[in-house]
Amino acid sequence: MLQNTGKLRGCTLFITGASRGIGKAIALKAARDGANIVIAAKTAEPHPKLPGTIYSAAKEVEEAGGQALACIVDIRDEQQVEDAVQKAIERFGGIDILVNNASAISLTGTLETPLKRVDLMLGINLRGTYLTSKLVLPHLLKSRSPHILNLSPPLNLNPIWFKNHTAYTMAKYGMSMCVLGMAEEFRGQVAVNALWPKTAIQTAAMEMLGGEGVSKQCRTVDIMADAAYAVLSRGTDFTGNFLVDEDVLRQQGVQDFEQYAVQPGHPLLPDFFLDDAPETLVEKMEQHGATPAFRPPTSSATPLSGGPIENTFDAIKAVINEDVIKMTQGIYQFDLSGENAGVWFLDLKSGSGGAGPGQPPVKADVIMTMDSADFTKMFAGQLKPTMAFMGGKLRIKGDMALALKLEKLMGRMNKAKL
């Protein structure tokens, strides 16, 4: 781990979304220097699925050696942000560093993303970052070493990073555009930079997105905390940079990155937005067992009879019973590409159920798009749907919970083979 140097002692950091995850890790790293931390986040009461509150985070900050101010803040609300900034000034006398960490994510296509979700992502990622920066900047301009650090990616305009989740990419890139503009606007006065992880990071959000087993493909939040600390320890002349955590730490002399792995030695899941060119991304994704998002489109033709897909559906039919249908209550459509391309359906909702080639008899609750070889692996127990989704091998349209219920069906199939 990167050693603390004491450079942030006495500095006041205003960190959005600091009740858990990367935001809290950055807060604790700075607290070990004796920094003052404003924890600006929404979670005041324990969440049934997410760890931590602003108050539990504040306690950890103080135990680590810092001073903490917990503020209930929805960064979409101008008054709440303004109130938190004023409380920070009253408590600590100023603000030296702003970390725009709060973010919302939905990896869904244009037709699958409700406008309410679009508004949420734009409201938090783009507008919230801009608003918080605008309200904190007058105080940063009075600091001797002011910084803004946005946790956002390089502005990579490769279309593959838009095609599957246009709304999320627009919202996240909005944070990066704030870096691009404000770094130049306040050059020589305030350092403004962006930081992004090279690999997936183990957070509650990642576990919700990736499901069971994704953690071993991640690094811990400590790598982002160490990288942020290195950036925030520099002078204001270091500005306008789009940084990657591993690159920052290599420049600091760190060579052992296994120390940051959740499971040392396990292949890591690359994070979004970091490819240099489509062919480079293909190579990187395939090294980690993923299927690139820009493969040829799936075929809508009726599949040929025989072969591994038909055999898989024969095995599926063998385990369909009243209990499975009652437990699942879903109709699935599989749009398969690759060697055994075609459309298949699985009815675990109507009557005694059914499965076979072609479109389902009624509208599907879930449409799953993937390569036929990965489909076979999935139902053979060699690839979990959650892992296929996180690795880019599976696209899901419709009810995600129903998609994950397939794991139980797969478990029955594999028991039947024993």
Query: 357-369, pLDDT tens digit by residue?
Result: 888 878 888 898 9
Q: Which one of 55, 130, 168, 173 is the catalytic residue?
A: 168
CA gap 311, 379 in Å, rounded: 11
How much is the pLDDT for 292?
A: 33
How much is the pLDDT for 212?
A: 58
Within 8 A by CB and 6+ apart from 88, the residues are 12, 14, 38, 69, 71, 95
To the nearest whole percent, how much of the chain has pLDDT over 70?
89
Averaged pLDDT for residues 294-301: 36
Q: CA neighbours within 13 Å on the CB side: how many for 271?
A: 22
Distances, alpha carbon 62 to alpha carbons 15, 66, 67, 98, 115, in Å: 15, 5, 5, 19, 40
How much is the pLDDT for 209?
A: 65
DSSP code for 38: E
- What stretches of 255-393 adopt beta strand conformation (E)? 330-337, 342-348, 354-357, 366-371
Which candidate, 370, 405, 407, 400, places its Cα nearest to that of 112?
A: 400
pLDDT (tens digit per residue) in 377-400: 888 878 877 777 777 788 888 877
Binning pLDDT at 50, 70 and 90, where does residue 119 land?
Answer: very high
Which of the residue ranges 82-86, 290-294, 308-312 would you say has the lowest mean pLDDT?
A: 290-294
Q: Two tokens at 215?
A: 């953690």
Torsion angle of alpha carbons 374, 379, 381, 382, nearest 10°? -10
Distances, alpha carbon 4 to alpha carbons 92, 107, 230, 251, in Å: 22, 36, 9, 16
CA gap 33, 64 in Å, rounded: 9
Torsion angle of alpha carbons 251, 252, 256, 257, nearest 10°? -70
CA gap 232, 30 in Å, rounded: 9
pLDDT (tens digit per residue) in 408-418: 677 666 655 43
Q: Which amino acid is at 413?
A: M
How much is the pLDDT for 305?
A: 47
In terms of DSSP bridges, do strands 36-41 and 147-150 run parallel, antiparallel, or are they unpaired? unpaired
How much is the pLDDT for 203?
A: 85
CA gap 64, 58 in Å, rounded: 10
**pLDDT surpassing 60 at residue 402:** yes
How much is the pLDDT for 211?
A: 59
Top pLDDT among 81 and 311 is at 81
CA gap 239, 213 in Å, rounded: 38
Annotation says 168 is catalytic? yes
pLDDT (tens digit per residue) in 22-51: 999 999 999 999 999 999 999 999 887 778
**pLDDT surpassing 70 at residue 316:** yes
Q: What is the pTM of this model?
A: 0.69
Averaged pLDDT for residues 249-254: 96
pLDDT (tens digit per residue) in 254-288: 999 999 999 999 888 888 898 643 344 334 434 44
For the chain, the average pLDDT equals 87
